[in-house]
Amino acid sequence: MLNRIVNAKPADMQITMHICRGNFRSTWFSEGGYAPIAEVLFGTCRVDGFFLEYDSEQAGDFAPLAHIKDQQVVLGLVTSKTGDLENKDDIIARIREATQYVDINQLCLSPQCGFASTEEGNILTEEAQWAKVKMIRQIADEVWGE
């Protein structure tokens, strides 16, 4: 059904999909890697991009990305569940690791999900959120150029 919708979209419209694991008050409702769904989802779903959560070990490794065709892959490597700021070098290393499966120009970086997916939000301050956004921008400038 989704592919039928994608086929009918205007040429200048991009359709993307977020695979959510839950984001209520800094908790999640599902875990596990993308391997069980990767071949069918990434290999046959003709969306323009995927927003994937990779902010914890529960998401598994990047090997399922080998099934990506020409879509953009937004790596949600920065958690929106806590205010702890990730190590910038660790995030860059993870992006480089993902390039074993997807070309660097198909990759993007973002928080793993919204900072407030529900009205209750997550357990982190507004200052922590902005610090994460600033770090994401710095990493993007470093990895993909300004």
Per-residue pLDDT of the chain (146 residues; tens, 9 = 90+): 888 988 999 999 999 988 876 555 444 545 667 888 789 989 898 999 999 989 877 778 999 999 999 999 999 999 887 888 999 999 999 999 999 999 999 999 998 877 666 666 667 888 988 999 999 999 999 999 86
**Residue 110: CA count within 13 A, CB half-sphere:** 16
pLDDT score at 25: 46
Determine the CATH number of domain 2-144.
3.20.20.210
pLDDT score at 61: 92
Report CA dihedral (115, 120, 54, 7) to the nearest 10 degrees. -80
**Beta strand spans in the chain (E):** 16-19, 49-53, 72-78, 107-111
Contact 44, 6 (CB under 8 A): no
pLDDT score at 118: 62
102: phi then psi, degrees, rounded to nearest 5: -140, 140
Q: What's the CA gap between 22 and 118, in Å, rounded?
A: 10
